[in-house]
Structure 1
Amino acid sequence: MRLTLHAIAPLALAAALAGCATVPDSPQPESPPAAEGSLVALGAPVTVGALVATPMEVVEDSRCPINARCVWAGRLVVKTRIDGAGWRETANLTLGEPYATHDTALALVSGEPAPEAGEGKQTLTADYRFAYEPR
């Protein structure tokens, strides 16, 4: 079989371009964590002592609306990624309750905005902000 220059050129071009391909869904680098005590949105990391906490999802927000009377105060539970030196875990943290892991404790201490009673007064996921503190 005899290859001519016309047959080899397209193969060489295809091989060269294959090395320049981009991966469409490559992971983006995470943003640096916010300073301890900062209110952060879902997906935004924040420093909590020697840890970094990242609120990932509102699991439950059954808190009593600020303009209502309730028999039960309700609770806010946020799925939170916790990063330490050489480890990572995800846990559901409840507002005001300490969570201990790897000889360190932290707590979800604030969740804003507070719910409001009334027709169509539901908090949008993008509006939530959270604060964590070491315990």
Structure 2
Amino acid sequence: MTKAFLALVPAVALAACATTTKPERTDGNAMVGQTTLVGADKIRVDSLIEDSRCPMNARCVWAGRVIVEATLQRGGTFETRRFTLGEPTDGIMLDTVEPGRLAGKKLKPSDYLFHFSVAR
């Protein structure tokens, strides 16, 4: 019985390290770690690089920007790209980011929802 228990310890330890992936979407929306379909391409948002948007409850000289790093799957290739809100990249546009920022409130990367569309 002791040998059987010891044999299970590594399996349990590995299972505890397993990561769960967020389900793939088809509506152009994605959270960090999630994949979405945009036209014939797939985009997985890997990380939020920058959110310097002006908070909704503040006055700013500069509107700011949002930049995300994502993996673009086009055909059989996977490429890392940076997408900036409102600027087309490889025919794809990061067109909305939610929620808006508020002065005094810190957002976590998991709070964000990004929407991508085919750039026109």
TM-score, normalization by structure 2: 0.79
Alignment pair present for 1:91 and 2:75: no
Per-residue CA shift, 1:29-83, capped at 9, x if unaligned?
A: 866520133x321011000001001111110000000111100000000001100
Q: Any gaps of 5 or more consecutive residues in structure 2? A: 1-6
Give the letter for the 1:115 counterpart: R
Q: Is the 8 A contact 1:111 1:130 kept in 2?
A: yes
**Does the 8 Å contact 1:58/1:78 carry over to 2?**
yes
Partner amino acid, structure 1, of 2:76: G
C-alpha separation in 2, matches of 1:134 and 1:83: 14
Q: Given residue 25 of structure 2, which amino acid in structure 1 is its aligned partner?
A: A
Q: 1:97-130 CA distances to partner (integer Å, 9 max, x unpaired)?
A: 0001xxxx10111111111012xx1111211111
Q: What is the TM-score of this pair, normalised by structure 1? A: 0.71
Q: 1:125 maps to what in 2?
A: 109
How much identity, in percent, do the aligned residues show?
A: 36
> How many positions carry a matched residue from both structures?
109
Is 1:33 aligned to residue 19 of structure 2? no
- Aligned CA RMSD, in angstroms, stands at 2.3
Shift of the 125–32 alpha-carbon distance from structure 1 to 2, 3 Å rule, reads closer
1:114 is aligned to 2:100: yes
Mapped partners of 1:113, 1:122: distance in 2: 11
Q: Which runs of 4+ in 1 moved over 6 A?
A: 25-29
Higher Cα radius of gyration: 1
Residues 27 and 89 (structure 1), Cα distance of their counterparts in 2 relative to 1, 3 Å cut: farther
Equivalent residue of 1:126, what SS? helix
For 2:118, give the aligned amino acid.
P
What is the distance in 2 between the residues matched to 1:44 and 1:28?
Answer: 13
Whether the aligned pair in 2 keeps the contact of 1:36 and 1:133 (CA below 8 Å) is no
Structure 1, unaligned stretches of length 5 or more? 1-16
